Structure 1
Amino acid sequence: MIPLQIPSPSSGGFFLGPVEIRYYAICVLVGIFVAAWLSRRRFVQRGGDADRFDTIALIMVVVGIIGARLYHVITDYQLYFGPGRNPWQAFNIRSGGLGIWGGVMLGGLAAWALARRYRFSFGALADAIAPGLLFAQCIGRLGNWFNQELFGRPTDAPWALYVDPQFRPDGYETVATYHPAFLYEMTWTGLGGFLLLWAERRFKLGRGKLFTCYVIWYTFGRFFIEGLRIDPVNYVGGWRLNSYVSLIGFIGAIVLLVWQLRRHPGYQLWPFGFPAPQGGLVPARPR
């Protein structure tokens, strides 16, 4: 065995009486809590009402989880439908299977509708939650380690991930160590969260531009990480489906950011309420 390799977890959960608690679910919930806490704080700093954000966050989390699960089931339908498959497993999210793309898209749609309902800027709301999303993704990816899933190609690097035989894909039964794709994405998203917080102040990003930077950062890293993964998914023209989604999202976000920089420079002046709270960000004067 390689001395520095990442070991496989001893178990994927534990029991409280007859109920199994999955570590994957705990990681997802902790990530949601951290994102909600940070986003709430940023929302209030910009003049927003804390109770109103709690309502928004609850709706976005529920809708986002539904969207994430739907995306996974639709794009990996062969895991749940067909000969020998149990369609009811499509409702079992404790064992993994959440597609971030679906969560962001459906959760974003809910945020847009709520922003219209409460009559404030959707871009400002998206900016408030963008860094928290990356931190939530960072923490949530740890759950993939507990499930021994979403790892990359075989490698003998010192940081290789050891995978138990029962979790190895078909054709790799004799290969013990793989690229820890979950760790690469954890590092990328965690670094991205701090980078967004810094860039917001350094470059006076606002009016939806910070969220666009979130999309650029995540899709750029995900494209290369996706190319490492060997878990069974649907391919189109030799590429994994999520590789196309990453590339399209990255290009679209670059075009959108250029448009935003030209059309809407600077911050919005306390978009959620007045007066500006003490200790909040100092907005750039709109041009």
Structure 2
Amino acid sequence: MSTTLLATIPSPPQGVWYLGFLPIRAYALCIVAGIVAAIFVTRARYAARGGNPEIVMDAAVVSVILGIIGGRLYHVITDYDSYFCSDCDPLEVFMVTNGGLGIMGAVTLGALGVWIMMRRKGLPFAPLADAAAPGIILAQAVGRLGNWFNQELYGRPTDVPWGLEIYRRVDETGAVAPLTGRSTGEVLTVVHPTFLYELLWNLGVVVLLLWADRRFRMGHGRVFALYVAAYAAGRFWVELMRSDPANHILGFRVNTVTSTLLFIGGVLFLLLLRGRREDPEIVDPRGDGSRVAETDAGRVDSVTGIGGTGTDDRSGGSRVSGFMPEGDGPATTR
């Protein structure tokens, strides 16, 4: 037994620290760190596509606010028994800092809000969605660390060497407090660290998206669709390993059903556009909403931001990021 425990992964002794009366929650810090990482990546990728990076900041405000609302709504709806029962406190619905954000609801409502924002600005949504996809899944990976601090969303008991120790936590009065308490050192069980499995899968999806975007010059929402399909595939098998209480549809966990539908939707979108060979659309760097097509010679790499030679042998002129100097004729638009 001692050999097995020495090989296991310990949980943090606590997930909340106090500066006077102010609680500092690791879960919230992980969410914030993920958002910052997503903004950094998205700004770089959107600028490389020719977009105004300041648009990303506007989109971040919209997506974060609606994402928190959507994530909480999804969690409460799919886990309503924890909030609306005879012994439950319905006000816990609003305690977001205690954990409980459904990423599927967060991305859905957040993306819808950004789509509306871009429509109002007269800008295309797809280039921004494609630019944001790797950053979103990176944020999800960072956010999963919050589940580690909260000792939540873990799998079934196991004896594998990388099993996760779940500690008994109590508050100052000695009452059991899994989220806000401090560990007594007592190991209640050793389980599959499904948060870690999903974290590693998400990092793999980041690499996949960056590679596919560079290799196949993806656009028109295809990078985002690939993100949805790839994430859903990983979430599907992770859900099969979880043992925490959950509502079911036709005998399956709600998140398993949702993951299946998202995977099918993402794959269908990719198949519908599989014959489309055009280069991705980019947005006028001036941010005035005009769109131009990338050219082979002047293409700005959507990952690194490095452009082409800027020479178009067919016209004898030069084009950079889809623009042609005055006298060479207008750049193609779509």
Q: Give the TM-score normalised by structure 1.
A: 0.91
Partner of 1:31: 34
Q: 1:90 aligns to what? A: 93
CA contact (8 A) 2:219 2:281 kept: no
Indicate conservation of the 8 Å contact 1:71/1:98, yes or no.
yes
How far residue 268 of structure 1 moved from its aligned partner, in angstroms, is 2.7
**Root-mean-square deviation (CA), in Å?**
2.4
* TM norm structure 2: 0.79
Please report how far the alpha carbon of residue 281 of structure 1 lies from its aligned counterpart in structure 2 after TM superposition. 5.9
Q: Is 1:219 matched with 2:232?
A: yes
Q: Quick one: which of 277, 290, 294 aligns to 1:265?
A: 277
Question: Unaligned regions of 5+ residues in structure 2, if any?
Answer: 170-177, 179-186, 287-291, 293-298, 309-320, 323-331
Equivalenced residue count is 281
Which has the higher mean CA deviation after the structures are superposed, 197-206 or 133-142? 197-206
Q: Percent identity?
A: 43
Q: Which amino acid aligns with 2:283?
A: P
Q: What is the match of residue 147 of structure 1?
A: 150
Task: Provide closer, same or farther for how the CA distance between residues 64 and 155 of structure 1 changes in structure 2, counting only shifts above 3 A.
Answer: same
SS state of the match for residue 164, structure 1? strand
Q: Aligned equivalents of 1:220 and 1:272: distance in 2?
A: 35
Larger-Rg structure? 2
What displacement does 1:271 show?
A: 2.8
User: Structure 1 residues 114 and 267 mapped into 2: Cα distance closer, same or farther (>3 Å)?
Assistant: farther
Deviations for 1:65-111, whole angstroms, at most 9, x for unmatched residues?
Answer: 11101110111111111211111111111111000111111011012
**Aligned residue type for 1:260:** L
SS at the partner of 1:270?
strand
What secondary structure does 1:176 align onto? strand
Most deviating of 182-191 and 234-243: 234-243
**Higher normalized strand content (fraction of residues):** 2
State whether residues 8 and 165 of structure 2, in contact with CA within 8 Å, keep that contact through their aligned partners in structure 1.
Answer: yes
1:133 maps to which residue?
136
C-alpha separation in 2, matches of 1:38 and 1:272: 19
Q: Deviations over 1:3-29 (max 9, x none)?
A: 210012111120011011110110011
Question: 2:199: which partner in 1?
Answer: 186
Unaligned runs of 5+ residues in structure 1 are 168-173
Letter aligned with residue 271 of structure 1: V
Whether the aligned pair in 2 keeps the contact of 1:80 and 1:89 (CA below 8 Å) is yes
Matched, 1:200 2:242: no
Answering whether residue 160 of structure 2 is matched by residue 157 of structure 1, we say yes
Query: Which protein is richer in helix relative to its size?
Result: 1
